[in-house]
Amino acid sequence: MRGWLKIAFIALLALLATPQCRAEEHEMPNFKTMKIKELKAILADRGRECKGCAEKADYVAMAADVWSLPIVEKPASGDETKEKPAEPDLNDADQERIRRMMDEMQNGPRPTGDPERDAILKKLHSSGIKFSGGEGMPLDQLRNLEKAMGNIKTKKQGDGDDEL
């Protein structure tokens, strides 16, 4: 009998020593009384975002849905800034092509050796139509572009009335 008493006493001590789960920790809070900022914090703690939420009721519903999910640990670094997008990996040929295209857009087309093509490209550039790659376009397409753009009024710097 004494053995059972010792076991019962140890079991009672073990129950008292273990942390008790409080009912209020597991009860779902009243999300309707919370501010949207608080609801967003609940979602963020669980790694969720309410995309498409337009009203408080949307946030309330989603917070109730994710309440039982575990809280996600935040990154240890103190830098909370978003990652910068990776810059494209350009080889030297790509960089040179981009530089040449930008130069053409600002300073006009380079001479191609074809007098008709050069004249059309220069006329388009002087009228405010700046593009790159005209030296590779078929001549008949350049002629059609010149005709089509000849009927369109272009905006000169300082003019606000003309349309493009």
pLDDT tens, 96-117?
888 887 887 777 777 888 888 8
Average pLDDT, stretch 38-57?
89
Instruction: Name the residue range of residue 62's domain.
Output: 27-73
Closest by CA to 115, choosing from 142, 133, 88, is 142
**In this prediction, what percent of the chain has a pLDDT beyond 70?**
72
Contact 116, 139 (CB under 8 A): yes
Other residues' Cβ atoms within 10 Å of the Cβ of residue 47:
13
46: in domain: yes
pLDDT at 30: 93
pLDDT at 23: 43
Average pLDDT, the chain: 76
Alpha-carbon distance of 47 to 37, in angstroms, equals 15
Handedness of CA 62, 68, 70, 74 (dihedral sign): positive
Residue 79 vs residue 22, higher pLDDT: 79
**If DSSP codes are grouped into helix, strand and coil, which group holds residue 53?**
coil
143: in domain: yes
Q: Model-level pTM? A: 0.36
Number of domains in the chain: 2
